[in-house]
Amino acid sequence: MSPDGLLAIATIELEGDPELVDLDRPRVLVEERLPPSHVATHDREITQAYAARIHERHPKAVGLRWWSTLESLWANVTLFDRAKPRLVGAPRELTVEDPVVVEAADFLGLSPA
């Protein structure tokens, strides 16, 4: 969430071979000394501390990839500020009426009856 409380969505192009630190790989978890339970937690204090450490340890990485706690087959990607030059167009505010939010809510059974 942004500092002003708004959520936004943007299209990112990751051309070439950008480095994403893939936390879905056991070898990476071992190298980063990161227990899987700390990747899948909703405790932002824990996840932000690990993300900051990985950001520092991997200066060429544009972000992190890991599994979703809602559906393990979904990939989550958190991009670092260094990915900003890859933005395509301006971010737009994300609202509950946005088609991607409606689709996600329907999948999760959160759509109004």
Q: Which domain holds residue 58?
A: 8-107
Question: Which secondary structure element, helix H or strand E, spans residue 50, and what is its range?
Answer: helix 44-57
Percentage, residues of the chain above pLDDT 90: 35
Total domain count for the chain?
Answer: 1
Q: Is pLDDT at 23 greater than 70 in this prediction?
A: yes
Q: What are phi and psi of 12, to 5 degrees?
A: -120, 135
Query: pLDDT digit string (tens) for 59-84?
Result: 999 999 998 888 888 888 888 999 88
Question: Which secondary structure element, helix H or strand E, spans residue 89, and what is its range?
Answer: strand 87-93
Q: Is residue 59 part of a domain?
A: yes
The pLDDT of residue 86 is: 75
Q: Is residue 72 part of a domain?
A: yes
